[in-house]
């Protein structure tokens, strides 16, 4: 337990530090891969309705939240990093965002309807992988389910350990090194995650970013080696736009994208 608390504090400090680095542009504060961010936002946007009250779990500096706010009735962004929430509010004021999202500091492990009420839609983008154990991830998933009306939807966009392992195996087979592990991420194992989610949800749609990962994490580095691939490269843009409409190479996807409906 002491080790878990130490890891949790270290992860939180990492995100507080990222939030405080003004030189990092708004679209890269929570993820350097700008075209993966674009793909996530584009895919999520297709599932937001004008009448939705939306909960953005792990909103970070609110970059996605401000985009989603234009598509729904109301949106609340929460994050456990006080500095991320502070930056989200500052950037919204600076950009004169309309409509104005609501940002609140809140740990997903403490999430409860008594504080925020119920929602039509919840979203998490690479948020729950920051929790240091599957037990805490399960608590977070149960809490998110409790925030939704019956029939409400949850868009789960989180890292998959299975996909990362298959992608690394493929990379090694073509002479590329395995992708380095991100120290603060605990990716979900697909089978056990889907079993747990079935307690609360029906899986309406399952998508992936396989096309993006094949082009950006295999083809791109092979083309430019021995140079390092760049996140802003044209090939990554092409990869993201192709992946928006195509579902090939699903076994290589680092991301599990689920559209879930609350029972």
CATH assignment of the domain containing 75: 3.40.50.150
CA distance 11 to 17: 10
The single-letter DSSP state of residue 211 is: H
Task: Report if residue 24 sits inside a domain.
Answer: no
Domain count, the chain: 1
Tell me the residue ranges of DSSP E strands in the chain: 53-57, 74-79, 102-105, 119-125, 148-159, 201-208, 255-262
Question: What is the domain extent for residue 255?
Answer: 2-19+32-262
The pLDDT value recorded for residue 4 is 66
The pLDDT value recorded for residue 9 is 86
The pLDDT value recorded for residue 16 is 87
- Are 209 and 194 a contacting pair, CB within 8 Å? no
Task: Report if residue 137 sits inside a domain.
Answer: yes
The single-letter DSSP state of residue 26 is: G
- Are 146 and 112 a contacting pair, CB within 8 Å? yes
CA distance 95 to 91: 6
Residue 22: strand, helix, or coil: coil
CA distance 99 to 201: 30
Total number of residues shown for the chain: 263
Task: Report if residue 26 sits inside a domain.
Answer: no
Phi, psi of 24 (to 5 degrees): -80, 125
Task: Report if residue 65 sits inside a domain.
Answer: yes
The pLDDT value recorded for residue 8 is 84
Ranges of residues in the chain with a pLDDT under 50 are none
The pLDDT value recorded for residue 100 is 82
CA distance 56 to 58: 6
Tokens of 189: 């194992």
> At which residue do the structure tokens 């490269």 appear?
233
The residue among 24, 39, 25, 29 whose CA lies nearest residue 216 is 39
CA distance 12 to 14: 5
The pLDDT value recorded for residue 19 is 87
């Amino acid at each position: 337990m002491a080790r878990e608390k130490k890891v949790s504090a270290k992860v939180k400090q990492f995100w507080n530090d990222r939030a405080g680095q003004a030189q990092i542009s708004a679209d890269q504060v929570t993820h350097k891969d700008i075209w993966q961010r674009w793909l996530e936002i584009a895919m999520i946007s297709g599932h937001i309705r004008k009448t939705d009250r939306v909960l953005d779990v792990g909103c970070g500096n609110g970059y996605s939240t401000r985009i989603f706010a234009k598509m729904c009735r109301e949106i609340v962004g929460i994050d456990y990093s006080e500095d991320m929430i502070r930056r989200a509010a500052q950037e919204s004021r600076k950009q004169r965002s309309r409509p104005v999202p609501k940002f609140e500091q809140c740990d997903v492990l403490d999430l409860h309807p008594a504080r925020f009420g119920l929602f039509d839609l919840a979203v998490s983008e690479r948020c729950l992988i920051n929790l240091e154990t599957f037990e805490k991830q399960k608590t977070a998933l149960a809490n998110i389910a409790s925030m939704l009306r019956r029939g409400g939807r949850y868009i789960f966009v989180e890292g998959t350990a299975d996909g990362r392992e298959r992608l690394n195996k493929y990379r090694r087979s073509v002479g590329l090194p395995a992708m380095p592990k991100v120290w603060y991420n605990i990716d979900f194992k697909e089978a056990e995650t889907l079993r747990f989610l079935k307690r609360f949800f029906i899986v309406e749609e399952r998508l992936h970013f396989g096309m993006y990962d094949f082009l950006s994490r295999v083809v791109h580095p092979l083309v430019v080696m021995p140079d390092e691939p760049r996140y802003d490269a044209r090939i990554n843009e092409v990869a993201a736009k192709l992946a928006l409409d195509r579902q090939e190479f699903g076994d290589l996807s680092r991301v599990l994208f689920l559209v879930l409906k609350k029972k």
